[in-house]
Structure 1
Amino acid sequence: MDTGPQPADNAATRFVRKVNQRCQYLLDKSCPHTTGRWIALLLALAFYVARVWYLRGFYIVSYGLGIFNLNLLLGFITPQIDPELEGPELPTKADAEFRPFVRRLPEFKFWFASLKSILFGTALTFFSVFDVPVFWPILLLYWFVLFFVTMKRQIRHMIKHRYVPFSLGKKKYGKGPVAKDSK
């Protein structure tokens, strides 16, 4: 059943669409600037930590932020195809076919989700309803235990399946010593 022509977009819809397009444009432009993006993330994190330190509160927000970012980190250092679940995809012998490490969560999405979470956490610190009184040393201790247990399991997985999720980029071949002509 056709309802006829749709009414024109109102001003609010056009404004939201324009803001979304502008944000997407800026994200697209930031993609090749890896160092700048991570510096921006560290600055946002430093601002958040300074704000929580100054306010002496919002520890439950910080704990949730830490758990969320730990989950993102696990996705970042985990292969897209898990050898334990899908079979051995990573080479285990010298003559096996090389398959590059493909992350479950790409670097840009990891950065963007972390930045959004930190900005969201910072926004929550402006509302006192989220400042739930807790004994923060217990939360901190529990987060560290969770972090070390999770990383221990992940590192064992890396060793077992022989993959390294970090690289320093593409190998560069420079001009080495040039052999002299021998006549």
Structure 2
Amino acid sequence: MEGPSGDGSSASTALEKWKSDFTRKFQYYLDRSTPHPLGRWLGTIGVASIYLLRVYLIQGFYIITYGLGIYLLNLLIGFLSPIADPEIEGLDGASLPTKGSDEFKPFIRRLPEFKFWYSITKAICIAFAMTFFSVFDVPVFWPILLCYWIVLFFLTMKRQIMHMIKYKYIPFSLGKQKYTGKKAPANSTQSKY
């Protein structure tokens, strides 16, 4: 039984304060990393390299790597898909333009770049932590998993590319678009002297 000093409540209050401070500081650094996509992605590539090196050196945890690959493929599809998918939502006015005369609507991703990066990095860190527990090291024949993942990747990407072609959108923009003005029609009545 707790005494009048309330040691149990002070311990829980201290834990809540630490959790709140940690969450606030973590969010502060996450917000500061937002305008630096190159640095964020290089860090994620570094973490992924360390994870792959660990899996290679241990010669195990292939089922964890396969699950990670499936999750990353799912994130990639969300990153490449528009927020208003014409196939799912029907053509009720909120669709992508399919003709040149349609109104321009910018491509808005279903999964924004920052959330895409954050989810990938978090998934790799969780998979890395799982490699320290032998209960997750299920013995499997890894070449079959690798072949199955490659087939799944190509079939999924083929479907996504066909969707992009059908609805005429490109999920990447290379710089700011510039207005070049109307092109003058070619005069066929000019004489060639």
Unaligned runs of 5+ in 1: 1-6, 174-183
Equivalent residue letter for 1:34: P
Following TM superposition, the consecutive aligned residue runs of length 4 or more in structure 1 with deviations greater than 2 angstroms are 168-173
Deviation at 1:166, TM superposition (A): 1.2
Matched, 1:123 2:151: no
Could you say what the CA RMSD is over the residues aligned between the two structures, in angstroms?
1.5
Residues 78-124 of structure 1 deviation map (CA, whole Å, 9 limit, x = unaligned): 00001123317111222210000000000000000000000000000
Work out the CA distance in 2 between the residues paired with 1:24 and 1:141: 39
Identity within the alignment, %: 57
Find the partner of 1:132 among 131, 138, 160: 138
- Matched residue SS, 1:91: coil
Q: What residue is the counterpart of 1:104 in the other structure? A: 110
Equivalent residue letter for 2:34: C
Work out the CA distance in 2 between the residues paired with 1:123 and 1:172: 47
Residues 6-39 of structure 1 deviation map (CA, whole Å, 9 limit, x = unaligned): x676111111111111100000000000100000
Q: What residue is the counterpart of 2:186 in the other structure? A: none
Q: What residue is the counterpart of 2:47 in the other structure? A: 44
Work out the CA distance in 2 between the residues paired with 1:170 and 1:34: 17
Work out the CA distance in 2 between the residues paired with 1:28 and 1:160: 37
Work out the CA distance in 2 between the residues paired with 1:45 and 1:96: 42
Work out the CA distance in 2 between the residues paired with 1:139 and 1:150: 16
Find the partner of 1:13 among 16, 28, 32: 16
- Matched residue SS, 1:10: helix
Work out the CA distance in 1 between the residues paired with 2:116 and 2:178: 26
- Matched residue SS, 2:110: coil
Work out the CA distance in 1 between the residues paired with 2:101 and 2:134: 61
Q: What TM-score results when the alignment is normalised by the length of structure 2?
A: 0.83
Unaligned runs of 5+ in 2: 1-8, 180-193
Q: What residue is the counterpart of 1:177 in the other structure? A: none
Work out the CA distance in 2 between the residues paired with 1:169 and 1:125: 41
Residues 107-150 of structure 1 deviation map (CA, whole Å, 9 limit, x = unaligned): 00000000000000000011111111000001001101110000
Residues 137-170 of structure 1 deviation map (CA, whole Å, 9 limit, x = unaligned): 0100110111000000000000000000012232
Equivalent residue letter for 1:67: I
Bigger radius of gyration among the two: 2
Q: What residue is the counterpart of 2:74 in the other structure? A: 71
Equivalent residue letter for 1:17: S
